[in-house]
Structure 1
Amino acid sequence: MLSRIADSLFWIGRYIERADGTARMVDVLRLSLVEDPGQDESYTSSMLLGGIMGYDDVAHDVAYSDVAARLVFDASNPSAVSGSWLAARENARRARETLSTELWEVINTSWRRWNGLGASTATQQHLSWVTERAALVAGIADSTMSHDEAWEFLSLGRSLERADMTARIVATGALQGGPSWGVVLASCGAQQAMLRTMRGMITDRTAAAFLTLDRRFPRSVLAALRDAEDRLTVLAPDTDRVGFSDEARRILGQTRTQLEYANPDDVLEDLPTMMGMVQRSVTRASDEIGARYFRSGPVQEWTGEIL
């Protein structure tokens, strides 16, 4: 497979999942403000922008509308929902000959319909529409593409981004004065799965453990890291008898085992630190994947695209 095609497929997976994850994080903020009208909107909004998303230029009086403007409607920002949809569409256009017709159509249509929703404020309609369309893209990709190298690269990007975004969402629940774990579970679509797994017994600890360490819930940090490892194993089976020749796989494997084999109490005791470790590992693994497979061009990391 041409490296430029593999590059585009990888970033289609990442950008679609980024749109989904960003919408979920904004929805955490929206739901927390609805749940507790007396909550300090400026504090919670600034913690999301500065503490979770890593923006340095966050004003003290930032409001939910400012979060929506930056993380939902800014088409020039590829970490915003609008920017992610645009970048996914442009990468799909570059890899058009590899994608199924159905997959191209759903990505292209999603971008065009998103622009028709309006950009006044990030309502429940906007955010739920994004998560539904992201799920539709994933389902069509899984059902209409041959599960060959093209699908593996797309799925690899999706799994890496999911690990990063779920780690960020989990970190919001660990913030002092942040949203309740019920809100965090709801934003991840994990509430019913959690209720079935724990038979109705939900506490802050079990909710955090479920989103971080559960092996069977696909949106958990651990499950996403494991899936990314599996995709790398298929793409480049390691025949070495000692160590790993795939640096990205080694990075992700080390991070996964640190979570999976640690005492759960130790992981949950310092969630922000552990989730920060996951985010750094995803960034390093993405760099290594770019160096190994996409050498013909620069890696598309959080940079804007101009039409």
Structure 2
Amino acid sequence: GAQRMTYRELNEKANQTARLLREKGIGRGSIAAIIADRSFEMIIGIIGILKAGGAYLPIDPETPRDRIDYMLKNSGAALLVTTDSLLQPFDIKTVDLRSDELHLLSGENLPRVNCSSDTAYIVYTSGSTGTPKGVVIPHYSAARVVQNTNYIDITEDDAILQLSNYSFDGSVFDIFGALLNGASLVLIEKETVLNTHELAEVIEKERVSVMFITTALFNTLADINIGCLAKLRKILFGGERASIPHVRKVLDHVGRDKLIHVYGPTESTVYATYYFINEINDEAETIPIGSPLANTSVLIMDEAGKLVPIGVPGELCI
């Protein structure tokens, strides 16, 4: 909406949250779950957990209760951070991000206790093939997606749209792509995400320059509101096989050096490969997944674990 927050305000509020979390026992090696709506508190909570030294486990407030119970128990979460004091009580210590006691704590930076190989976050896969599985990601894996990389340069002049639900790892690109590079992070309500007309208005009004979206939403915007993509500097999309007609339509509309097709499973952290789409051959049947991100290796192997020659199908090992 019309709310704004500076980096200083975010840092101080996250420090206050981290202090409270340390008092409650969160430190290096701890896991703190967070259940929050799309809000400043959601971001403050995430940064606060990381500053305390813990790893965050994001849970969508609309997740069924039995699944939340499963994730809390399975992950070994020590504490639940939430924005909703009306939440039905869980069998776990709870910290309210809107609590008055936070304002009484110091906003100064805390001594750091982590190293880059410590866990930064845990996300649970959809569990379409049975019970959900938690994917554990260290700090260095997340940082490599947005820092010193070879496929995008984000600066303080950029505005990044926070589009992905924070319980999916696409949000890691949005949140840390902005905050680790001094850019603006534009949060939107869930209703706006589902309304392409409102989404287009936000992109225009907030001068969004970088956006990472699912292939399905990319196709929808191409069909319904292609105009909202015209002023973006970089459009990243991925998650399923790309549609050549939709990609061609957007490429014709926005021009070269803007479209990046990304690919990779949650286990390898957000995505592992990228491909700049600047032309599409008439005979093209698919959009390539491209080359590995910096600090990432992608090999194509046979069943014996040996590299296969160019042009020979094999298994992708990231």
User: What TM bracket, shorter-length normalisation?
Assistant: under 0.3
Q: Which has a greater percent of helix?
A: 1
Which of the two has higher C-alpha Rg? 2
TM-score, normalised by the number of residues in structure 1: 0.23
Q: Which has a greater percent of strand?
A: 2
Larger relative contact order (Cα-Cα within 8 Å, sequence gap ≥ 6): 1
TM-score, normalised by the number of residues in structure 2: 0.23
